[in-house]
Amino acid sequence: MDSCVPIPANSDFTLSNMPYGIFSTESEPNRRVGVAIGEHILDLSKVGCFCGPILSKCCHVFKEESLHDFMELGPAAWSEARQTIHKLLSSSEGMLRDNTNLSKKALIPQAEARLHLPAKIGDLTDFSASKKHAENDRIMFTDDNLQINQNWNYMPVAYHSRASSIIPSGTAIRRPNGQRLSSTGIVTFGPTEQLDFEVELGALIGRGNDLGRPIPVDDAEKHVFGMVLLNDWSARDMQSWEWKPLGCFLSKSYATTISPWVVTMEALQPFRCDMLDVQKPTPLPYLQHRIPSTFDISLHVHLSTEGAESVTRLSTTNYKVTPTTK
């Protein structure tokens, strides 16, 4: 189906995607909810077309400064919103296509918008979801001969990081200071000399659960609103000195970058697939999925340095091969 909004041939923001974000403009500085389509943002606070059984009673969520309230409505509301927005943006629907005043008011050029954090983030859980990633950690911080801990093969291994340091892509980052242990055994303090990146995917949780009540694994995805790209900035020299015995602290607390656009789980369904490798040993029953539980998402890392005429590709991978999720 074609869109009534022009979409460049190489655009990621198609009718199949329609990611959510929070934006503002110079002429209207209040933050509100939008959907990316082509080179524009559809301002959901302006369209007034949510008349379904759920959103007709709570369409105010699209005027909020965060996706938080919308995310808490759950998957039925998310699906209702997606269907409504898809219909509104289609070339066969006249509400936006034939209404010049509405189009002018509700379609904002992305070049004129400022993007913000998409949600209020109360907690950040960092999972070591890729075996290769876990093995590389061992090599980086111990030695090549040590195997990953046995528990990694049986359970989700994670730690809680600092949610207050999560920032949207494009935010300037200050190089952190901390202690480092030199190769000669001398402890020094100063700016990290091993600033590193990690390309990951972040999962934004919508509805939570009651305290102490576990979520069955087959129901877990009903709580996941969508995915963002995530850069887990790390100061490796500080990390290797401070991580024992309680884990990372200042080496990972200064910045975690996420993309301002959230791709919903419904948009990702065409890319659902099985893992390439069968997990061994078989997970305990409470962790076994009945449906394919990963996605075919290509991930690329490019480096652009000051004065460089072009970007340099550093890495290419796929989420179904080496997933690392927050």
> Mind telling me the catalytic residues?
133
**Do the bridges between strand 32-37 and strand 20-25 make them parallel or antiparallel, or are there none, so unpaired?**
antiparallel
Q: Hey, what amino acid is at 302? A: H
105 is in an annotated binding site: no
Residue 266, annotated ligand binder? no
Residue 96 CB neighbours (<10 A):
22
Total H helices, total E strands in the chain: 8, 20
Contact 40, 23 (CB under 8 A): no
Instruction: Say if residue 324 carries a ligand binding annotation.
Output: no
Do the annotations mark residue 12 as ligand-binding?
no
Distance separating alpha carbons of residues 163 and 168, to the nearest angstrom: 12
CA distances 16 to 86, 103, 209, 291, 293, Å, are: 8, 20, 30, 22, 20
Other Cβ atoms less than 10 A from the Cβ of 90: the count is 18
Q: Is 200 annotated as belonging to a binding site?
A: yes
State yes or no: 198 annotated in a binding site: yes
Q: How many whole angstroms separate alpha carbon 64 and alpha carbon 32?
A: 6
SS3 322: coil
Beta-bridged to residue 196, according to DSSP, are: 234
Q: How far apart are CA 289 and CA 205, in angstroms?
A: 19
**Does 126 appear as a known binding residue?**
yes
Quickly tell me which residue has 């999720």 as its tokens: 325
Q: What's the CA gap between 67 and 226, in Å, rounded?
A: 11
Query: Which residues define the annotated binding site for Ca(2+)?
Result: 126, 198, 200, 232
User: Which residues participate in the annotated binding site?
Assistant: 126, 198, 200, 232, 239, 252, 256
List, as residue ranges, the binding site for substrate: 239
Question: Residues within the annotated binding site for Mg(2+)?
Answer: 232, 252, 256
